[in-house]
Chain A
Amino acid sequence: MEIVEKMTLNVDRIRKDFPIFDYPDNNNLTYLDNAATTQRPTQVLEEISRYYREYNANTHRGAYRNAEKATLAYEDAREKIARLINARSSREIIFVRGATEAINTAARGWGDRFVRPDDEILITEMEHHSNIVPWQMLVKRRNARLCYWAFDERNGMLEPDGLRIMLSSSTRLLALTHVSNALGTINPVKEIIHAAHARKITVLVDAAQSIPHMPVDVQDLDADMLVFSGHKLYGPTGIGVFYAKEEILNAMDPVQFGGDMIEHVDYFESTWNDLPWKFEGGTPNIAGGIGLGAAVDYVNQIGMEIISGHEKQLVQYALEKLSGVEGVRVYGPMDPDQHGSAVSFTLDRVHPHDLATWLDQHNIAIRSGHHCAQPVMRKLGVPATARISFGVYNTIQEIDRFIIALEQAKEYFSKWL
């Protein structure tokens, strides 16, 4: 009995943790845009507030009590994150602004150092712009080449043969998303990394859409680098993580130069601080780090396996219901085991943007647009899609509400179109 109780989520209780749902202006808000950013629970908001109110000080600098307390809290958050992703050590956890800054750090600090002319960087056709553009710029700087591993537009899955075809003796790096924000596809990154490592290729995993929704173990995956954003994991904006194996971080150059990241500064030369601070020039986002630590606590207290199971039910239900609406086309895999917490679709003759405005009138927040993945849209042959994406606080009832509103929108627009 106890196990059954533990495995199901008390969503009503969880929703009470998120003040946004109680705010009068948000009366009955159905928030289905969690792939863009999640809401933050009181536990996170209070931890941030406590830092500013009770022990605000800069980290790693002052010789007084609050400075020590702030440093400990910030470093404690780093430990929590290391445990969340099972890093070997918290030295492998670099705080950055988010997934975007993490990938830029990799492209600069690792790419500029190790990518040579005519090398190839392999990415997939389903990447977020943040895992495309930094590599475009890198290959321009280094006279290297960017190659794409295609996906099958019928099911949103990477071409099974793609890796074998695309990997060459010139491939230096494979950078790919764990879960696609535009298609929902869960990529089998563990097998992919294994195959890439067999050819001595370094792999970067964009875990922005997986970390908030499923257990991720960097040692089990054997990821060389892995990135994510705190604000998609119930944490604050402006904080995220660049993980890399220690030997990689040691070999990389820092990309931000200034205070804190140095060991010694002479007139014309400087040496770098130890890991992880070598990569954290300047006063860090202290409140952000502490807030992200609190978000990790929050998620752990519920249990990532349980969150994942809950969201899988939602995805399965949404896939079924959406496919049942005439005129709806759902993108990405239809098997909920291969589909992360975001579901992309279009409604015949109604532009996603018009649909989103219409749903907003019913207090249902969804995303419409290209989801920062224009190559995916090009491949699907649509300018944009609508997307619903789930978090721990979403319910089956909310999906029902959404489906009813979707049917009404269809009726409304079909009067004219």
Chain B
Amino acid sequence: MAIDDLYQEILMDHYKNPRNKGKLHDADLEVHAKNPFCGDEVELDIIWDGGRIKDIHFVGQGCVISQASVSLLTEHVKGKTLEEIEEVIQEFSAMIRGELEKIDEDKLDELCALQGVSKFPTRIKCALLAWNTLKKVVQERKAELEGKGKVG
């Protein structure tokens, strides 16, 4: 349980130079995620392209883990379909909770840098903050599109 398992260089880099940070002014959706435990907050701004995320940005401040995690999230889901995103969220969440027997490095790629979190249970919430919110967003978007499909 060395501290370096947690604070990997990639995470520090994302913390220092966050990707896709700053408001998207023409966003279709703006959602807020709060960690009631530590007060950290992130906002996700999303532009849809049908069943895809065309663009996603975040705004927020917080610890290395929460900020690096959301920065990585934006990189990983941009351009992906709802189904692909759901799959990544599931795989990622399982890794963070330490539920994966084997980590699929092809699937998770740079996100693997957060695997150390599973050994620091007090930090799981930080790592999953934005992901849990995105999960709800994706579910709602799917329901919305299905609803439209039925009506149309």
Contact = CB atoms under 8 A, between A and B. Distances in A.
Contacts of A360: 122
B39 A377 contact: yes
Given A357-B122, A358-B3, A383 B41 contact: yes
A413 to B, nearest CB: 8
Interface in A344-402: 351-354, 356-358, 360-361, 368-370, 374, 377, 383-384
B77 interface: no
A377 B12 CA distance: 25
B62 A357 contact: no
19 contacts: A351-B64, A352-B38, A353-B38, A353-B62, A354-B64, A357-B6, A357-B122, A358-B3, A361-B3, A368-B38, A369-B37, A369-B38, A369-B39, A377-B39, A383-B38, A383-B62, A412-B7, A416-B9, A416-B13
Given A351-B64, A383-B61, A357 B120 contact: yes
Interface residues of B, number: 24
Q: How large is the interface on A (under 10, 10 to 19, 20 to 34, 35 or more residues)?
A: 10 to 19
Contacts of B1: 361
Contacts of B52: none
A374 B38 CA distance: 10
B23 interface: no
A89 to B, nearest CB: 40
Contacts of B73: none
A416 B10 CA distance: 10
Given A357-B120, A357-B123, A384 B38 contact: yes
B16 A353 contact: no
B63 interface: yes
Contacts of B120: 357
Given A358-B3, A368-B38, 10 more contacts: A351-B62, A353-B126, A354-B63, A354-B64, A357-B3, A357-B120, A357-B122, A377-B39, A383-B38, A412-B7
Interface in A203-225: none
A198 interface: no
Interface of B: 1-3, 6-7, 9, 12-13, 15-16, 37-41, 61-65, 120, 122-123, 126
Contacts of A417: 12, 15-16
Contacts of B37: 369
Interface of A: 351-354, 356-358, 360-361, 368-370, 374, 377, 383-384, 412, 416-417
Given A353-B126, A383-B61, A383-B62, A416 B12 contact: yes
B39, B61, B122: residue with the most chain A Cβ atoms closer than 10 Å: B39
Nearest to B41: A383
Nearest to A368: B38
Nearest to A371: B39
A141 B14 CA distance: 47
The 7 A-B pairs at the shortest CB distance, nearest first, are namely A370-B39, A416-B12, A351-B63, A353-B63, A369-B38, A354-B63, A383-B39
A357, A412, A417: residue with the most chain B Cβ atoms closer than 10 Å: A357
A369 B125 CA distance: 13
A128 to B, nearest CB: 14
Contacts of A353: 38, 40, 62-63, 65, 123, 126
B118 to A, nearest CB: 14
A414 to B, nearest CB: 11
A357 B63 CA distance: 11
A301 to B, nearest CB: 35
